[in-house]
Amino acid sequence: MMRGMDDARREPAAPTGGPALAPGRRPEQTRVRRVARALAVLALVAVSIPVLARLTGVEAGPLAILVALMPWVVLACLIPLALALAARAWAVAGAAAAVLALCVAWQAPLFSAGAGATAEDAALTVASVSATFGRVDADAVVALVREGEVDLLAVQELTPDAADALVAAGLEDALPHSVLLPEEGFTGTGLWSALPLGDSGEVEGMTSRAPWAVAELDGRAVTVLAPHPAAPGPTDHARWAADLELLRDAVAGMDDAVLVVGDLNATRDHRAFRAIESLGCVDAADGAGAGFLPTFPEGRGLFPVAAIDHVLECGTGLGAVGVETASIEGADHRALVVRYGAA
């Protein structure tokens, strides 16, 4: 009898055939963490693709488009990090944190203004506008110029009719000097200036016309260049790469200080754009610490996603003190307006 009672008090044997669970962990928790870990790894692999493209400069095929979205990749890096932390997958979390830190370091200059001029010192205002196959509202462009007290204006995709409409709307009353190379389609470009212009010409061989002119700014000659390189295709980037190389060579070969103004169809994360910066050029958004200001595409979705319109100063002695964007009726880019003061 006593023996039977002892047997009844014994704990049932643990089931065999499966892994033992940690004390206090339910099977459901284990499954959730395994799924979270797997999703974290997949998400980390996904965000690592554009990160590696940016790191190595390999921009073949769709990678060129992905690199243009690097500011959004910073946010995407939070996904594998959060999943890995939820799964307590510390190695994956560490890798995700390292990738996030690298992306943040790349974007940090956008939010850190350099020392120098302040907004009160602004002495030159430069703007870039896309005429979008000539469909831009001419009155809206002139209003932007007048209200923003713009001194230099570059207009891409300038057709003959659009050029005539801008003149009829009074653009030359505010900016009487110009170098105009209008064409049907998207290859025409115009440069208007409140400052007298001296020598002028264009960069030969680019897909779109790329006028330049020499302006005198506080007794110093500054070459203003208004390029519009071709956009990268889904798979073929030959024209894009060639145009950006021509642009870099043109800037490198100019004797004067240079302002580059326009739709460059490249972001600050693209290899070719960084090659231009290596000449001593400073992107206005970086110089002013203006943050991420996407300009394209405008009017095709909820908001623009890529910052492909730029003003770069190369040895001008100017410092960007303010950068803003503005919607203009008929344009598929947001206009970019940059204010400069003495650096």
Domain of residue 193, CATH code: 3.60.10.10
**71-96 pLDDT per residue, tens:** 999 999 999 999 999 999 999 999 99
- Domain hosting 44: range is 27-109
Q: Are residues 97 and 122 in the same domain?
A: no
CA distance readout (Å), 267 to 60, 118, 228, 323:
16, 25, 13, 16
Nearest C-alpha neighbor of 51 from the set 108, 111, 102: 102
- Counting every residue written for the chain, the total comes to 343
Amino acid at position 136, single letter: V
| H helix count then E strand count, the chain | 12, 12
For residue 16, tell me if it sits in a domain.
no
Is residue 213's pLDDT more than 80? yes
Q: d(Cα 180, Cα 280) in Å, to the nearest integer?
A: 28
Query: What is residue 30's predicted lDDT score, i.e. its pLDDT?
Result: 87
For residue 21, tell me if it sits in a domain.
no
Q: What is the DSSP letter of 113?
A: P
> Quick one: pLDDT band at residue 301, thresholds 50, 70, 90?
confident
Nearest C-alpha neighbor of 110 from the set 280, 266, 264, 267: 267
Q: What is the DSSP letter of 287?
A: H
Neighbours of 300 (CB within 10 A): 10
Give the residue ranges of DSSP H helices in 57-135. 63-67, 70-76, 78-87, 90-107
Q: Select from 89, 109, 129 the last residue of a domain.
A: 109
Residue with tokens 């790894």: 41
- Rg of the chain, C-alpha, whole Å: 28
Strands 335-342 and 124-130: what pairing?
A: antiparallel
Q: Are residues 242 and 256 in the same domain?
A: yes
**49-77 pLDDT per residue, tens:** 999 999 999 999 999 999 999 999 999 99
For residue 12, tell me if it sits in a domain.
no
Q: What is the DSSP letter of 269?
A: T
* Lowest-confidence region among 121-130, 141-150, 226-235: 121-130
Q: Select from 109, 127, 146 the last residue of a domain.
A: 109
Q: d(Cα 10, Cα 275) in Å, to the nearest integer?
A: 76
Q: Are residues 338 and 289 in the same domain?
A: yes
For residue 13, tell me if it sits in a domain.
no
What is the arithmetic mean of pLDDT over 311-316? 96
Amino acid at position 131, single letter: A
- DSSP β-bridge partners for residue 46: none
Q: Are residues 94 and 128 in the same domain?
A: no
Q: Are residues 137 and 104 in the same domain?
A: no
Question: Could you tell me if 131 and 156 are in contact, meaning their C-beta atoms sit under 8 angstroms apart?
Answer: yes
For residue 20, tell me if it sits in a domain.
no
Q: What is the largest CA-CA distance in the chain?
A: 116
Catalogue the long-range contacts made by 244-247 (C-beta closer than 8 Å, 24 or more residues apart).
244/270, 244/272, 244/273, 244/275, 244/276, 245/272, 246/203, 246/205, 246/206, 247/203, 247/206, 247/210, 247/276
Is residue 103's pLDDT more than 70? yes
pTM higher than the cut 0.85? yes
* Lowest-confidence region among 100-109, 211-220, 268-277: 211-220
For residue 273, tell me if it sits in a domain.
yes
Q: Provide the percentage of residues in the chain whose pLDDT is more than 90.
A: 83
Q: Are residues 167 and 94 in the same domain?
A: no
Q: d(Cα 303, Cα 297) in Å, to the nearest integer?
A: 7
For residue 131, tell me if it sits in a domain.
yes
Q: Are residues 176 and 89 in the same domain?
A: no
Tally of domains within the chain: 2
Query: What is residue 33's predicted lDDT score, i.e. its pLDDT?
Result: 92
For residue 320, tell me if it sits in a domain.
yes
